[in-house]
Each structure stands twice: as structure tokens, then as C-alpha cells.
Structure 1
């Protein structure tokens, strides 16, 4: 039996790429938060950081070979590297805010293709230290929506 009229295709339309990217980032962030990472320490015992774009980036590494690649890139593979092993959640929720400057995490720098930047924004670090916290509050007030609804 044939029918005529508008198609009633119930298949979903093309996926929104932004939604896909957000889901992928959320999955990576969740995995990072549950994983212990290596936190190299400076000579004074503080986390090793570098400034870029008004943000301090805490260096963290998923394993010793990744830290070794970083040391080689820096030309410092001959020295001993002191490091702590820290849960990713603790690094984002306690260590980054304790530095008292906008601070994100740079994971596996020096390992091409494996790098991950976790910026100091809401949803990654505590809201009180997120660089976009005021902007997000203003957006919510202007639209009458909270961030979960935007």
C-alpha cells in the first residue's frame, strides 16, 4: 500500500558538533578527575607551572614516560625530577585554587597528540576560582537561566 504526503521520518537530524565536543570533553574531564597523575615539583617543592595567556598552567603527566618526554624537550633529561602522585580531582579542586592565581592544568605536555589542557573555567575548577564565573552568573541573570539550562 502506497501513501502520499509529507515524510514522517523519525530519524534524528545531523548531530550538533558542539554537543558532541562537550560530551567528549566531559568524558575526558571525568577520566582525568578519577586518575592519579604525576605532578612535577620545583626546587622549592611547589608544583611546576608556566604562565601563558594570563593563566598559570600546572604541569601534570599521566605516567613516567610522559614526564621523561617533557624533560627531554626541556633539555633537562639528565637531572632527577621530584614529583608527587595526585588524584586529578584533588589537583583541580585543591591544588589549583591554592595557587591564588587563575590556574589550569596542562596534561602530558611534550607528548605530541596526547596533550590535554584543562582551563580554569566553571565545570573544571571550583566556581570561586573560575575565570568565567562572573560572566556565567551575568549570563544566567540576563536570560533568567542557570548554566545548566544554557
Structure 2
């Protein structure tokens, strides 16, 4: 699996020359690999009060993650999911604030945090139920 367009957009962002809207659009359109944990769950990690769903742009990036976690590189079960489905369905289903960590074990990781415009407003940290300090 190759995600050349998505990888290019990530590289542009990391170089300071990217467009966040283009990166998000490309992620939403891209099929990414999401490792499974057990029969039904996807691999997540909690970090600084947020839960992150791990997703990868290629089998090579998934293998790097498996090696980092000391898991078998061959045979690690995964799902192929559109980025839009992760952001619009899987993140709200977490039940806690969360986002997507793309290629977390790679040289060019990227986070899609739980903010308006990325995830549905009702689960965004800056959404309508966010504490604003007003009132």
C-alpha cells in the first residue's frame, strides 16, 4: 500500500511549507492501516490526557511500529480504513477525548488532534461543550 499523496502532504507540513487543509483533506481520502488489538479493538495509546488511534501510511510504517513494540512484524492484524472514517466514527466511539496518530513510530509522524474541523464538533476539545471560562 502506498499513500504517496498523504506522505507528501505530511512532509510539506513538517518542512513548514504545507497547507493544513490540504493535509487534512488528503488524510480523509486516504486508506490507512490500523493495527488491531484483540478481535474487535484497534490499537490506541493514552498520552497527556488524550487517547490516540494509531494509523499507518504503509505496511513498512506498520512494521516499524511492530518492531518498536516488540511485536511480530509478520502477522500483526490490521484493518484498512479511510482516514475520514477514523476521524468521524472511530474517534467519537472512543468515549474519551482522542485523535489519530499517523506513523507514530516513523521518521515523520503526524497527529490529528480532537479539534473542530478535524473531528466532529461534539467530541472536539474546542467544540460546543468545551469549557471556555466564560459565564
Counting matched residue pairs gives: 119
Partner of 1:127: 121
Instruction: Calculate the aligned-residue CA RMSD, in Å.
Output: 2.4
Q: Which residue of 1 aligns with 2:103?
A: 108
Q: Select the residue among 28, 32, 35 that pairs with 1:37.
A: 32
More helix by share: 1
TM-score between both structures, scaled by the size of structure 1: 0.71
> What is the aligned partner in structure 2 of residue 5 from structure 1?
none
2:72 alignment partner, one of 77, 91, 115: 77
Moved over 3 A (4+): 134-139
Q: Tell me how far apart the structure 2 counterparts of residues 123 and 136 of structure 1 sit (CA, whole Å).
A: 14
User: What TM-score do you get using the length of structure 2 for normalisation?
Assistant: 0.79
Q: CA deviation at 1:98?
A: 1.0
Question: Which has the larger strand fraction?
Answer: 2
Distance 2:101 2:126 in 1: 18
Q: Residues of 2 paired with 1:68 and 1:133: CA distance?
A: 35
Give the structure 1 partner of residue 89 of structure 2: 94
- Paired with 1:52 and 1:44, the residues of 2 have a C-alpha distance of 24
Cα distance in 1 for residues equivalent to 2:82 and 2:29: 7
**Deviations, residues 56-104 of structure 1 (Å, cap 9, x unaligned):** 0000001101000111111113562111100000110011101111110
Structure 1 unaligned runs (5+)? 1-20, 142-150
**1:136 Cα deviation from its structure 2 partner:** 7.5
Q: Which has the larger radius of gyration?
A: 1
Structure with more relative contact order (C-alpha pairs < 8 Å, separation 6 or more): 2
